[in-house]
């Protein structure tokens, strides 16, 4: 019986590895064709700067505003092929053109599916033919939800924008710019101080004080089944078929934004079920039964202050390293593709309930699920088999690889190292969960602030 079980396990491991290789290879290849969200983030910051201009004090202008934001946006958009731009960016670029730069053929008009955008292009062409032509105010009313496009159209057609682009809005955008630029600087400074202080302590003591860790009584084959079979084959390949079908069955009358958010939310829930069930049965295989009160993964949430402190400390300390790696990547590779599509969805979302679902998914569900898999189960077993340093390194690599983004792999690997170190030094999984939540939460907040 044991021999048959071993042969069955080896067969399942073999099949799972082959499927995982194919899935991850295709996922990484597909990531090369996804645009980088970094371009949109940079442009959104310029948009906010333009809207904030009336409220920026003169003493801050030289620091916050180097060149005309609209000219910078036009220049950056012109450096990308028109066909590769999003519809909104296409429209922004066309509006920024002068009359003699706008073509009178159907090339621009036929590149839009959005009816509102088509109306703008038609009016621009009419204005190009007849310089005295001015659209009705109704055109401007169509863009009240998009402050920057509203502002651009007002300038282009000489509309009165004071109804929407007020001093209060400019002050709000000015505060956004301050937060967007100041918070990263503060976190880098605080993180660097903590890194220097910790490095000095390590030099003095000449040893790392690792916390106690208790790996589950599982072997490496069990881990391959968990990651390849549970996380990839069942979680990333099979489960989405059910979650996507479920959402599409009950969302025929919902907005596109809400449908996207529901697919992501239920996608994470359905993806988490198979690997968690595998862990459940793996624990039952050596413990006879699963006892919820037994802390199999060393969560150790209590005392809660300790978990939060360790997580926050790890979060601050890893920021300088992740940003340094990202900077090096930007210097080495000019156009980095492969950003997580979730980032673009958050950046361009205008539905409040959709925002709530995305926030819940990225800040709570994803960190909890991923930490249980990668730092709760995988890391302690790898550390037992290969030592803590190598265990942290391998788990961080698998963590980065599992996100299926070549462009984001180095920063994610660095983040994975930080999460693993925090988990092993604190001796509690709750600290890496807090750290992971803070990281995702900071990213989410930054994208939220960039919306116009």
287 and 156 within one domain: no
Q: Are residues 303 and 285 in the same domain?
A: yes
pLDDT per residue as tens digits for the range 34-71: 666 777 788 888 988 888 888 888 887 877 787 888 88
In 3D space, the residue among 37, 47, 355 whose CA is nearest the CA of residue 177 turns out to be: 47
Give the whole-angstrom CA distance, residue 442 versus residue 449: 11
What domain range is 139 assigned to? 37-167
Token pair of 443 as six digits: 């990213």
What is 307-320 written as a DSSP string?
Answer: HHHHHHHHHHHHHH
Distance CA 48, CA 447 (A): 12
Number of domains present in the structure of the chain? 2
Residue 301 burial (CB < 10 Å; 0-12/13-18/19+)?
middle
Task: Say whether both 271 and 415 belong to one domain.
Answer: yes
How many other CB atoms are found less than 10 A from the CB of residue 327?
A: 10
Cα 413 → chain centroid: 15
Same domain? For 395 and 279 the reply is yes
The reply to whether 287 and 197 lie within a common domain is yes
Contact 428, 310 (CB under 8 A): yes
Quick one: 125 exposed, middle or buried, by C-beta within 10 A (0-12, 13-18, 19+)?
buried
Residue 1 clears pLDDT 50, i.e. is over it: no
At residue 249's C-alpha, the angle toward residues 360 and 242, to 5°, is 65
Domain boundary among 113, 137, 167: 167
Cβ atoms 348, 256 nearer than 8 A: no
Q: Give, rounded to a whole angstrom, the gap between the first and last alpha carbons of the chain.
A: 64
304 plus 272 within the same structural domain: yes
Tell me which of 89 and 378 has the higher pLDDT.
378
**For residue 295, what pLDDT band results from cuts at 50, 70 and 90?**
confident
User: Based on the domain organization, do 233 and 136 belong to the same domain?
Assistant: no
Structure tokens at 174: 């000015």
Does 269 lie in the same domain as 204? yes
**362-388 pLDDT, tens digit each:** 899 999 999 999 999 999 999 999 999
On whether the CB atoms of residues 260 and 391 are closer than 8 A, the answer is no
Give the model confidence (pLDDT) of 233-291 as tens digits. 998 889 888 888 888 888 777 777 788 888 888 888 999 999 999 998 888 888 888 88
Name 173's Cβ contacts closer than 8 Å, sequence gap at least 6: 48, 49, 51, 52, 55, 452
| Helix residue ranges per DSSP H, 290-406 | 304-332, 341-347, 352-360, 366-371, 379-386, 388-401
pLDDT grade for 331, boundaries at 50, 70 and 90:
confident
Q: Is the pLDDT of residue 19 over 80?
A: yes
Q: Give the Cβ contact number of residue 190 at 10 Å.
A: 16
CA dist 137 to 88, 148, 164, 372, Å? 20, 17, 13, 55
Q: Say if residue 209 is in the same domain as residue 136.
A: no
Least confident among 147-151, 234-238, 254-258, 342-346: 342-346
Last residue of a domain, which of 143, 167, 191? 167
Last residue of a domain, one of 133, 167, 201: 167
pLDDT at position 438 is 94
d(CA 140, CA 187): 40
pLDDT in tens, 386-411: 999 999 999 999 999 998 888 788 99
Closest of 54, 43, 50 to residue 171, by C-alpha:
54
Owner of token pair 């109804």: 163
SS3 readout for 185-240: HHHHHHHHHHHHHHHHHHHHHCCCCCCCCCCCCCCHHHHHHHHHHHHHHHHHHHHH
Longest CA pairwise span in the chain (Å): 88
Poorest-confidence range of 154-158, 274-278, 414-418, 431-435? 154-158
Cα dihedral 231, 234, 237, 241 sign = negative
Are residues 274 and 232 part of one domain? yes
Q: Residue 335's pLDDT is what?
A: 59
How many Å apart are CA 211 and CA 318, to the nearest integer?
Answer: 19
- State what percent of residues in the chain have pLDDT above 70: 92
**Structure tokens belonging to residue 331:** 């210097």
Q: Token pair for residue 321?
A: 């390293």
Residues 221-239: what's their mean pLDDT? 90
Q: Are residues 391 and 269 in the same domain?
A: yes
pLDDT of residue 397: 95
Residues 6+ apart with CB under 8 A from 286: 216, 217, 218
Task: Report the pLDDT value the prediction gives residue 243, as an integer from 0 to 100.
Answer: 85
Distances (CA, A) of 307 to 298, 426, 427: 12, 8, 10
CA-to-CA dists, residue 99 to 85, 95, 225, 238, 313, angstroms: 21, 9, 62, 53, 55
In angstroms, the CA 379 to CA 431 distance is 14
203 and 255, same domain (yes or no):
yes
- CB–CB of 409/326 below 8 Å? no
Distance (Å, whole) CA 261 – CA 350: 11
- Of the spans 22-31, 119-128, 145-154, 217-226, which averages the highest pLDDT? 217-226
């Amino acid at each position: 019986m044991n021999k048959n079980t071993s042969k069955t396990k080896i067969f399942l491991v073999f099949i799972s590895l082959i499927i995982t290789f194919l899935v991850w290879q295709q996922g990484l290849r597909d990531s090369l064709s996804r645009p980088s969200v970094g371009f949109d983030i940079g442009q959104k910051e310029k948009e906010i700067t333009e809207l904030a201009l009336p409220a920026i004090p003169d003493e801050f202008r030289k620091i916050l505003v180097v060149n005309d934001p609209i000219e910078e946006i036009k220049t950056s958009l012109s450096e990308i092929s028109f066909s590769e731009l999003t519809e909104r960016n296409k429209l922004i670029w066309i509006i920024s053109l002068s009359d003699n730069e706008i073509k009178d053929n159907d090339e621009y008009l036929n590149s839009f599916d959005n009816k509102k955008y088509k109306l703008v292009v038609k009016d621009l062409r009419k204005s190009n033919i007849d310089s005295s032509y001015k659209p009705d105010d109704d055109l401007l009313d169509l863009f009240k939800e998009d402050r920057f496009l509203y502002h651009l159209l007002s300038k282009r057609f000489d509309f009165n924008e004071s109804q929407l682009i007020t001093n209060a809005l400019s002050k709000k955008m000015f505060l956004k710019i301050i937060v967007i630029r100041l918070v990263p600087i503060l976190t880098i400074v605080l993180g660097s101080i903590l890194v220097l202080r910790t490095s000095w302590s390590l030099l003095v003591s000449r040893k790392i004080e690792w916390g106690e860790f208790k790996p589950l009584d599982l072997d490496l084959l069990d881990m391959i089944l968990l990651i390849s079979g549970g996380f990839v084959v069942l979680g990333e390949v099979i489960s989405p078929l059910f979650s996507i079908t479920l959402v599409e069955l009950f969302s025929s009358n919902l907005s596109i934004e809400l449908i996207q958010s529901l697919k992501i939310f239920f996608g994470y829930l359905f993806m988490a079920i198979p690997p968690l069930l595998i862990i459940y049965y793996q624990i039952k295989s050596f413990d006879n039964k699963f006892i919820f009160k037994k802390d199999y993964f060393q969560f150790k949430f209590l005392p809660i202050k300790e978990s939060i402190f360790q997580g926050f400390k790890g979060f601050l300390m890893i920021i300088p390293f992740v940003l340094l790696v990202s900077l090096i990547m930007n210097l080495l590779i000019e156009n980095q593709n492969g950003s997580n599509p979730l980032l673009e969805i958050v950046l361009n979302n205008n539905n409040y309930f959709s925002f709530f679902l995305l926030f819940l998914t990225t800040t709570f569900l994803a960190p909890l699920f991923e930490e249980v898999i990668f730092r709760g189960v995988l890391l302690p077993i790898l550390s037992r088999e290969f030592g803590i340093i190598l265990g942290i390194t391998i788990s961080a690599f698998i963590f980065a690889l599992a996100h299926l983004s070549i462009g984001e792999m180095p920063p994610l690997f660095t983040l994975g190292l930080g999460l693993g170190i925090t988990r092993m030094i604190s001796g509690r999984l709750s600290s890496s969960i807090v750290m992971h939540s803070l990281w995702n939460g900071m990213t989410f907040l930054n994208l939220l602030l960039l919306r116009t």
